[in-house]
Structure 1
């Protein structure tokens, strides 16, 4: 038996881009399936509520840094818009964490 374990993948998404909790659950499931296909073990998907933004994003960054996560999956870059300009947030995230953002479009 080998000591190989799959790297952990975290997710991030905006709650307000989904119609219902069922749609959010479907999105989480799709991101998890994507992660598994790409060789990751899916961890938490941080869901940002517009009323408390950027709490979920800040928690995500803390986890990525603390546990040396190498990748985070988002349904699209527009999910970063609650935090700031998506391109700038992505660049800052890359710089601060060293992790890459992977996009996997999920149909709402």
Structure 2
């Protein structure tokens, strides 16, 4: 991020957010009845806290790979739509994420 490469920064932040979202426990799995916390029937901040899932390295790589695929597909669509500058930005983001994958 120190290089001020805005495309790389944007792509990395987006990938980090996608990984963070994947670590979240689905709402359907949360116990929202409130009977198991320190205050029975509690409602509000922290009432439905749950430990986040721990993704394997393969799962994280899969998420970043999907981010690359989505950017490539969107760049192709933007090129066809006559928006080469926007397409080039997405390709730069895709390249930055590929660099993380090795």
Task: Calculate the TM-score normalised by the size of structure 2.
Answer: 0.30
User: Which structure shows the higher helix fraction?
Assistant: 2
Task: Calculate the TM-score normalised by the size of structure 1.
Answer: 0.29
